[in-house]
């Protein structure tokens, strides 16, 4: 018997249709969904507990938690299938290995960056997640593999409502794990040191607590919880795949926020709530609405109760709900790096320098007619603009954007719809892509206005995921997973029907748009508007007190960034001729953020250069393409350790 939530993830489910005369059947099916939701919610709760532990003792959002989750599943899978071990032995070995890796993660991602900007350890965990996920694809192959179930599954019926023995195993084992963790934190001496460090690290250190050891313990426990939840998910879906870490970590993180990042019981409650909401949305609205409901719920909580259901107001120290105090900056994760910016040189070109670069690059088709090479440079220019758009929001304004691919996708889909469906000429389509995306970005910034610090970053993540899910589910407009094929080449009616059919011809269009876009953006950053943006980044409350219209400037910044991202997306659609939602997922957002950080947040020259180089190198070395994300991750780790302000300096 297929579960509704399993079908929802793998795309086989349809909304449940029940006639009014079968009301009793609807109720029984409703209870089946509740039971299924509680089972998967227990997994979300375990992942959420890992987030809560690390956050409590280090004020760090650990994006590598999903990688630990995935490794837990694969280590157990390898123990069973390759070594022939019983599942319980393989599971214990997997938990031990991932617990050790959790401690290693603390030593690599956090300890070397203690004195750096607050953003550095967050991005360090992101870099490690990129490396581990790609290594898993190389080692175990990108395809999903069947996970052997060590027992015959039994289905239990209560009327027409049902649950399986696997559901029961997950619910009971997950519940016992949560209870054991609660007892450990409440009753053991080591648990009390964790709680003391979470409440006040400096005071705990003065009382003799070795806070470094406590932090290492928190990461170890997070690894334990990640491994357990990964194994349970593998049992639940009877399969493992390298990409499983990111979606489940996002769900677990959402659960932690819903319940309260500072509350262990809240993490459990948030996981249960998220599991039930997802399952009901999948069953009664359709499988495409499963994740959409989850991230919409997350965004609502970030806006109206950022501390979660059972959390306390300490989340305000991360910038939630007008937070203005605590150990973290009141507005931006980047504000703490201002002293580093002052002590290191910043290298950037004047606005007209982008026009010069565009003119020089435009000569390339006259030198070579190699279509593959020209296309690689075209993609590099597009990513230069996209990286600069992220740097403008994340650097100049201080709102760390983890969902920028949604704006990139809006521009691409605008071009696809207007050019493919309605046959508009390019001189109307490209400005429309910039304008529509600017409007979408402006509307998206409205809920972010009340958020700052980590909560603002998480708000952008929720917006990015919602955008991706809209691309997947709005079939009449976006065509869902099928996307658009054969997008027509750009044609300019005002230029006598000029049609840019070849890559060499499209090359000049891309060079022109990118150069002009970066020129205008740099002019803004250098102007009084840019100074206001940087003032908001350093202290939004002070900017308010000085009488600056902060809200207006924030919306303007998102509009400009959206226009750049939308233009990049529109050019991508014209060059690629084929688009689908997979080109605009959270991995793309994180990749572009990596480019912006490497170049230097707030430094458009550095961001554009990093985007150009990191986009073109894998194209020129396509035989090593599978190592691209590993290369990005390693470079990011090195840069965060030795030059956290970026290659050309953060502005």
Q: What is residue 289's predicted lDDT score, i.e. its pLDDT? A: 77
Mean pLDDT lowest among 174-178, 453-457, 532-536, 620-624: 620-624
**489 against 267, higher pLDDT:** 489
Q: In angstroms, rounded to a whole number, what is the distance separating the alpha carbons of residues 490 and 573?
A: 10
pLDDT digit string, tens, across residues 196-255: 877 777 777 778 778 778 888 888 998 999 899 899 888 888 889 888 887 788 788 888
CB 79 within 8 A of CB 89: yes
**75 against 129, higher pLDDT:** 75
CB 600 within 8 A of CB 645: yes
162: phi then psi, degrees, rounded to nearest 5: -145, 160
pLDDT digit string, tens, across residues 448-488: 877 766 777 778 888 898 999 899 989 899 998 899 998 99
Q: What is residue 522's predicted lDDT score, i.e. its pLDDT? A: 95
Residue indicated by tokens 């959790």: 102
- Checking if the pLDDT of 650 tops 60, the result is yes
604-620 helix and 586-599 helix, angle to the nearest 10 degrees: 120
Q: In angstroms, rounded to a whole number, what is the distance separating the alpha carbons of residues 407 and 397?
A: 17
Mean pLDDT over each residue of the chain, to the nearest integer: 81
Q: In angstroms, rounded to a whole number, what is the distance separating the alpha carbons of residues 313 and 602?
A: 31
**pTM value?**
0.83
Q: In angstroms, rounded to a whole number, what is the distance separating the alpha carbons of residues 87 and 310?
A: 36
DSSP 579: B
- Checking if the pLDDT of 13 tops 90, the result is no
31, 36, 37, 43 alpha-carbon torsion, rounded to 10°: 150
Q: In angstroms, rounded to a whole number, what is the distance separating the alpha carbons of residues 555 and 538?
A: 17
CA distances from 353 to 522, 523, 546, 605 (A): 10, 11, 34, 9
Fold agreement (4-311, 337-642): yes
* H-helix segments, 305-363: 338-343, 351-361
pLDDT digit string, tens, across residues 521-543: 999 999 999 899 888 888 777 88
What residue spans define the domains of the chain? Answer: 4-311, 337-642
Q: In angstroms, rounded to a whole number, what is the distance separating the alpha carbons of residues 566 and 433?
A: 6
431 by Cβ neighbours in 10 Å (0-12 / 13-18 / 19+) ranks as: middle
- Checking if the pLDDT of 406 tops 90, the result is yes
3-class secondary-structure state, position 486: coil
Residue 146 bridge partners (DSSP): 239
End-to-end CA distance of the chain: 57
- Checking if the pLDDT of 16 tops 50, the result is no
145 alpha carbon, distance to own chain's centre: 25
Which CATH number does 337-642 carry? Answer: 1.10.3470
**What is the number of other CB atoms lying within 10 angstroms of the CB of residue 476?**
6
Q: In angstroms, rounded to a whole number, what is the distance separating the alpha carbons of residues 54 and 59?
A: 7
Give the architecture (CATH level 2) of 4-311.
Orthogonal Bundle (1.10)
CA distances from 425 to 373, 413, 497 (A): 27, 15, 9
Residues above pLDDT 90, as percent of the chain: 27
pLDDT digit string, tens, across residues 17-62: 444 444 555 666 777 778 778 888 888 888 888 888 887 777 777 8
- Checking if the pLDDT of 100 tops 60, the result is yes
């Amino acid at each position: 018997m297929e579960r509704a939530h399993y079908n929802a993830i793998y795309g086989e489910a349809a909304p449940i249709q029940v006639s009014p005369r079968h009301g009793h059947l609807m109720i029984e099916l409703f209870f089946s969904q509740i039971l299924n939701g509680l089972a998967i919610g227990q997994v979300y709760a375990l992942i959420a507990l890992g987030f809560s532990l690390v956050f409590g003792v280090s004020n760090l959002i650990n994006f590598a938690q999903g990688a630990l989750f995935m490794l837990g599943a694969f280590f157990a899978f390898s123990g069973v299938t390759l070594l022939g071990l019983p599942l319980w032995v393989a599971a214990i070995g997997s938990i031990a290995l991932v617990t050790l890796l959790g401690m290693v993660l603390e030593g690599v991602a956090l300890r070397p960056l203690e004195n750096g900007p607050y953003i550095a350890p967050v991005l360090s965990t992101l870099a490690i997640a990129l490396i581990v996920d790609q290594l898993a694809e190389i080692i175990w192959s990108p395809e999903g593999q069947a996970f052997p179930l060590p027992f015959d599954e039994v289905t239990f019926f209560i009327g027409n409502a049902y649950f399986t023995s696997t559901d029961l195993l997950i619910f009971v084992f997950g519940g016992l794990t949560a209870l054991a963790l609660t007892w450990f934190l409440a009753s053991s001496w080591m648990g009390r040191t964790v709680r003391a460090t979470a409440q006040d690290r400096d005071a705990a250190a003065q009382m003799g607590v070795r806070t470094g050891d406590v932090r290492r313990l928190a990461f170890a426990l997070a690894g334990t919880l990640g491994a357990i939840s990964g194994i349970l998910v593998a049992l639940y879906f009877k399969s493992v795949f390298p990409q499983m870490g990111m979606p489940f970590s996002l769900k677990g993180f959402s659960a932690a926020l819903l319940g309260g990042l500072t509350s262990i019981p809240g993490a459990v409650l948030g996981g249960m709530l998220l599991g039930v909401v997802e399952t009901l949305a999948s069953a009664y609205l359709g499988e495409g609405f499963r994740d959409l409901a989850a991230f919409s719920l997350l965004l609502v909580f970030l806006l109206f109760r950022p501390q979660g259901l059972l959390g306390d107001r300490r989340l305000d120290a991360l910038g939630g709900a007008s937070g203005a105090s605590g150990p973290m900056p009141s507005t931006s994760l980047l504000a703490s790096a201002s002293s580093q910016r002052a002590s290191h040189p910043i290298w950037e070109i004047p606005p007209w320098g982008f026009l010069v670069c565009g003119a020089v690059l435009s000569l390339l088709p006259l030198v070579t007619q190699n279509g593959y090479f020209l296309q690689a440079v075209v993609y590099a220019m597009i990513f230069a603009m996209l990286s600069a758009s992220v740097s403008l929001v994340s650097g100049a304004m201080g709102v760390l954007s983890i969902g920028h691919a949604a704006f990139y996708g809006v521009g691409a889909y605008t071009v696809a719809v207007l050019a493919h469906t309605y046959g508009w000429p390019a001189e109307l389509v490209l400005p429309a892509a910039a304008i529509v995306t600017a409007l979408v970005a402006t509307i998206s910034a409205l809920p972010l206005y009340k958020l700052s610090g980590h909560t603002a970053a998480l708000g952008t993540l929720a917006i990015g995921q919602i955008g991706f899910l809209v691309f997947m589910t709005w079939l009449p407009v976006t065509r869902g997973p099928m996307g658009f094929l054969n997008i027509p080449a750009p044609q300019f009616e005002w230029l006598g029907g000029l049609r840019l059919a070849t890559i060499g011809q499209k090359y000049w269009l891309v060079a022109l748009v990118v150069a002009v876009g970066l020129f205008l953006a740099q002019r803004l950053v250098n102007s009084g508007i840019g100074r206001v943006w940087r003032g908001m980044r350093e202290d939004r409350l002070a900017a308010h007190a000085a009488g600056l219209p902060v809200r207006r400037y924030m919306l303007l910044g998102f509009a400009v960034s959206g226009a750049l991202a939308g233009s990049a997306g529109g050019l991508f659609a014209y060059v690629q001729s084929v688009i689908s939602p997979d080109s605009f997922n959270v991995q793309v957002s994180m990749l572009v953020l990596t480019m912006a950080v490497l170049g230097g947040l707030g430094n458009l020259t550095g961001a554009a250069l990093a985007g150009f180089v990191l986009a073109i190198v894998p194209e020129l070395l396509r035989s090593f393409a599978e190592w691209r994300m590993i290369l990005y991750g390693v470079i990011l780790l090195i840069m965060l350790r030795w030059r956290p302000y970026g290659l050309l300096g953060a502005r």
